[in-house]
Amino acid sequence: MVVGLSAAERRYLTDGIAQGLRNDGRGLYDFRAFSVELAIIPQANGSARVRLGATDVITSVKAELGRPQASRPSQGRVEINIECSSTAAPQFEGRGGEDLSLELSRALYRSLLCNNGTGPAIDLSALTVIEGKLCWNLFIDGLVLSSDGNLLDVLAIAVKAALSNTGIPKVEVTSAAAAEQEADFEISDNPDDFSGFDVSHVPVIITLTKVGRTYIVDATEEEESQMSSAISIAVNSAGHVCGITKRGGAGLDPSVLLDMISVAKEVSKSLLSTVDAEIMAAESRGDDQM
């Protein structure tokens, strides 16, 4: 549904935020409650579904063996592709969602891996099997099923959850042949014989949306429609800022920017612990089912 707001609603929203009140009763820096489900796509190596309010996303991680790039022989490759399903909004029909999809994919890539692939989230050299010959390539696919604002933050949580759920099969190299020859290898078909991912370094993203003079965390779609600009800040468990993306059309005062970063750092502490707790809870639920 297109957010059509009356003048009264608009004023109410912005005035409320200026007074530190939001229309769902949250404080300015509060996240909505969210839930995590793991391993919902059986044919993927790892997957997760995260629901935050009415925002609903699925991410999957698929690992494929491939040849490393000649320029980086000792590294695997990671691709992030986000798709905005037209089920989330009629505007995404046809090619309508492409711009947003690309913006989200790039922002995630920048925060998790950075442009030269030395980012904080995934250790690319751990993906190498035989240097220069064989490596794992990770394909991270995200799908936005329903959108009620704050897509980037939710997607980052979902990627972290999906990676925590990812198992990569052990590869047995049978003949370490000469440099020119193709290597022979065997993929272990024992389902217990895989290596997991350490996701403790994967950052979360906190988007601060500026409405009027104030900025808020985890904006809903209605609130986003009133934003002047937004800053997405990726923060990891060590409190390091891992990536910043500014979105929205209006300009931003540099002094406000530094304030925003310190707020994001503060918020990230509690968010990271909630995310970890939710992932743990989802894991134990999954174990019970088996």
Helical residues (DSSP H) of 95-170, grouped into ranges? 98-112, 151-164
- Of 220 and 245, the one with the shorter C-beta distance to another protein is 220
Residue type, 171: V
Helix (H) or strand (E) holding 47: strand 46-52
CA 271 to chain centre: 13
Residue type, 151: L
- Of 221 and 278, the one with the shorter C-beta distance to another protein is 221
Are residues 245 and 256 in contact, defined by beta-carbon separation less than 8 angstroms? no
- Of 153 and 221, the one with the shorter C-beta distance to another protein is 221
CB atoms within 10 A of CB 90: 10
Q: What gap in Å lies between CA 67 and CA 219, rounded to an integer? A: 42
Minimal distance in Å, beta carbon 251 to another protein?
26
- Of 47 and 268, the one with the shorter C-beta distance to another protein is 47
Could you report how far apart the first and last alpha carbons of the chain are, in Å? 39
Minimal distance in Å, beta carbon 253 to another protein?
27
Minimal distance in Å, beta carbon 244 to another protein?
28
- Of 60 and 111, the one with the shorter C-beta distance to another protein is 60
Q: What gap in Å lies between CA 101 and CA 89, rounded to an integer? A: 13
- Of 91 and 174, the one with the shorter C-beta distance to another protein is 91
Helical residues (DSSP H) of 165-226, grouped into ranges? 221-224
Minimal distance in Å, beta carbon 101 to another protein?
11
Minimal distance in Å, beta carbon 45 to another protein?
10
- Of 158 and 272, the one with the shorter C-beta distance to another protein is 158
Q: What gap in Å lies between CA 104 and CA 83, rounded to an integer? A: 9
- State the residues that interact with another protein by CB under 8 A: 1, 4-12, 15-16, 19, 21-25, 41-44, 47, 53-54, 56, 58, 60, 62, 64, 81, 83, 85-90, 93-95, 139, 141, 143, 145-148, 221
Minimal distance in Å, beta carbon 13 to another protein?
8
- Of 141 and 224, the one with the shorter C-beta distance to another protein is 141
Minimal distance in Å, beta carbon 117 to another protein?
20
Are residues 47 and 282 in contact, defined by beta-carbon separation less than 8 angstroms? no
CB atoms within 10 A of CB 102: 13
Minimal distance in Å, beta carbon 290 to another protein?
17
In the structure encoding, which two tokens stand for residue 119, read together?
A: 């980012």
Q: What gap in Å lies between CA 70 and CA 58, rounded to an integer? A: 33
- The DSSP symbol for 119 reads -
